[in-house]
Structure 1
């Protein structure tokens, strides 16, 4: 089966393990989920046939798919999972990443390859994401749980716009860090910073995927 003209978001939902594969190829299935696989692969000069072959292998495995399970879950289950798995995790991750980034900049700021500015971007992400999650927890999620789907349309549009902004901030982080590649002689703190940022980005992409591609479309279909 050819996957090349299917949207990244559709593949991420339908095929177990596709989200992990897309992260490996740095394919944005969240904010860029409306792009087809062929278009996204062409932009990044990737081997489309290789990706299709790996997707086909994943599809044949027929393992339980977290995304498929969430398609059947209640709104309350999805929302509780988002808050516990992603919101709380982001609140733990970002202060530590900011601390590590400031330490690297203070100690290695005289090096040309030092990722100067990363702490400032992380602080911006922390501030924006904190407000974003608060709005979801205090306004949007209660609306959805109360069955006020029509009223939720405008907040959902705002959340999706903010997801796009977060995607742009992630790209800035990648550009400042040589795509999260530490120098060969990087200290442990430097390496821990990049490992932590990479984990945060993975979590953020799954977080946005669950909302943009699964929760929000279900709610809007009932508005």
Structure 2
């Protein structure tokens, strides 16, 4: 793999080839999952960024990780069964645990600090909306859609059009989760902590931001690698 990215390279293609670049896009608030099908220059312009500086940051990541093993049991060269198993193991189970463990902290911070920081009341509302959406979404994937995709792979599907409609519906659910995450960033001013933030307050913001990253990678694997195999 050589560094051949230019201003015209699609954001999703960069992340597909070198997953660690997702950290750069996340830092610069560039959506590489739902909105990754646009050139780097367009993504930079949308966020008021200098595309040349962005390319330099990407090159730094490339130089650092070019000799490391690709963090990919599951990227573009892997079969669909492998990707599905990886998503369930490394994204569904991890997300379920984090959503469950983080819930009492979000509730506590909003209750204790909500009077002086009313944005925390909205954070509480959005978090539980996200939790409900993701839990239902992951259950639907595992119980209904992933088994259907496995049949598409094996050629044993009876109603292909119905299967495609279900995949499209999952993409719409991804968009909805992405919008909740966008609102969380907006209401928290990019998770900027106030001067009087306690330890629990800091913990909640840090873990919400990490949950965002986890969700983005989950969506990226599906929207940009798995689903296009069957929607093309």
Q: What's the RMSD between the two structures over aligned residues?
A: 2.0
Q: 135, 140, 143: which is aligned to 1:135?
A: 140
Query: 1:207 — aligned with what?
Result: 218
What pairs with 1:47-62 in structure 2 (closer than 5 Å)?
Answer: 47-60=50-63, 61=66
Q: Return 5+ residue gaps in structure 2 as ranges.
A: none
Which SS does the other structure have where 2:75 is aligned? Answer: helix
**Corresponding position: 1:117 with 2:122:** yes
Q: 2:111, 2:229 → 1: CA distance?
A: 47
| Counterparts of 2:54 and 2:101, CA distance in 1 | 35
The equivalent position to 2:179 in structure 1, one of 164, 168, 180, is 168
Q: Which residue of 1 aligns with 2:39?
A: 36
In structure 1, the partner of 2:13 is 10
1:104 and 1:19 mapped to 2: Cα distance? 29
Partner SS for 2:167: helix
Farther off after superposition, 172-181 or 149-158: 149-158
Q: Give the CA deviation at 1:114.
A: 4.9
- Report the CA distance shift for 1:12/1:121 in structure 2 as closer, same or farther (over 3 A): same
- Give 1:19's aligned residue: 22
Whole-Å Cα distance in 2 between the matches of residues 68 and 85 of structure 1?
11
1:193 to 187, 190, 204: 204
- The alignment covers a number of residue pairs equal to 221
Would the aligned equivalents of 1:97 and 1:193 in 2 still touch at CA under 8 Å?
A: yes
Distance in 2, matches of 1:204 and 1:130, equals 12
Deviation at 1:146, TM superposition (A): 1.9
How much does 1:47 deviate? 2.2
Q: CA deviation at 1:2?
A: 5.2
The Cα of 1:86 is off from its aligned counterpart by 0.6
Could you tell me which residue of structure 2 aligns to residue 79 of structure 1?
84
State the 1:161 CA deviation.
0.7
State TM-score, norm by structure 1. 0.91
Structure 1 segments of 4+ aligned residues over 4 angstroms from their partners: none
Identify if the C-alpha distance between structure 1 residues 76 and 183 changes in structure 2 by more than 3 Å, giving closer, same or farther.
same
Asked if structure 1 preserves the Cα contact closer than 8 Å seen for 2:44 and 2:51, the reply is yes
Between the aligned partners of 1:214 and 1:154, the Cα distance in structure 2 is: 17
1:103 aligned residue: 108
75-84 or 91-100: which moved more? 91-100
Q: Say yes or no: does 1:150 pair with 2:160.
A: yes
Return the alpha-carbon distance in structure 2 between the equivalents of residues 172 and 74 of structure 1.
34
